[in-house]
Amino acid sequence: MNKNLLAQSLIKFLSGVILVGALIFLPAGSFSYWQGWLLMGILFIPMFIAGLILIARNPHLLRKRLDAKEKEGEQRTVVALSGLLFVATFVIAGLNWRFGWFVVPDCAVWTAAVVFLGAYLLYAEVLRENTYLSRTIEVQKGQKVIDTGLYGMVRHPMYMATVIMFLSMPLVLGSPISFVIMIGYFPVIAKRIRNEEMVLAAGLDGYKEYQMRVKYKVIPFIW
């Protein structure tokens, strides 16, 4: 086992737990915010398990997933906008619980949690199908076009999974206001996809033909 990769993974994981926890519970003003604990659980427990699996079976993919330094200027803007959306979503959700602005029924919260976990499984399947996935926009050495499985339905199944996850998170937190805020993720991800497809079409053999075969980008028959 690569000890450096394990240490890097644990540091990033624990940093994420602390950051998200602070963004949720400090605005809430209490650790009694049970929806916050629910989100923390369904977000970080599967992430921890997935990290252990990747360390054991595909450390190269894990290393690429940990590398978040974008080379494209446009993508750095996208990352910054996404970060602002998440900060606003978590902070407003905590404030919503603290001051009782809107109350979401518990059944809706649990339903959103199930949807979130379903999207997590979809995300895991994308990682299984495409070992070239990284968090940055690039064409890797030896990379080939993947057009089977989920990639035969939409060109960006990873973004399909993340859209479902990101839209379900505010409802898990019981905050309709945060849900409205997170809708802003659509223009952000559309901007990322435009730039990503430009890079892939220019540098990846067969990608233009793939674009012609698979018409939909994220949502089958819609987008």
User: pLDDT averaged over the chain?
Assistant: 88
| Domain span at 117 | 3-213
The per-residue pLDDT for 142 is 63
Mean pLDDT of 173-197: 93
* Cα 119 from Cα 127, distance rounded (Å): 12
Total domain count, the chain:
1
Assess if residue 223 is contained within a domain. Answer: no
The model's pLDDT over 99-111, given as tens digits with 9 standing for 90+, comes to: 999 999 999 999 9
DSSP string, 17-64: HHHHHHHHHHHHTSTT-HHHHHHHHHHHHHHHHHHHHHHHH-HHHHHH
Q: E-strand spans in the chain?
A: none
Assess if residue 19 is contained within a domain. Answer: yes
Assess if residue 166 is contained within a domain. Answer: yes
Assess if residue 222 is contained within a domain. Answer: no
The per-residue pLDDT for 5 is 82
Question: What CATH number should be reported for the domain holding residue 95?
Answer: 1.20.120.1630
The per-residue pLDDT for 73 is 61
CB contact at 8 A, 137 and 196: yes
Assess if residue 221 is contained within a domain. Answer: no
* Cα 17 from Cα 19, distance rounded (Å): 6
The model's pLDDT over 29-47, given as tens digits with 9 standing for 90+, comes to: 999 999 999 999 999 999 9
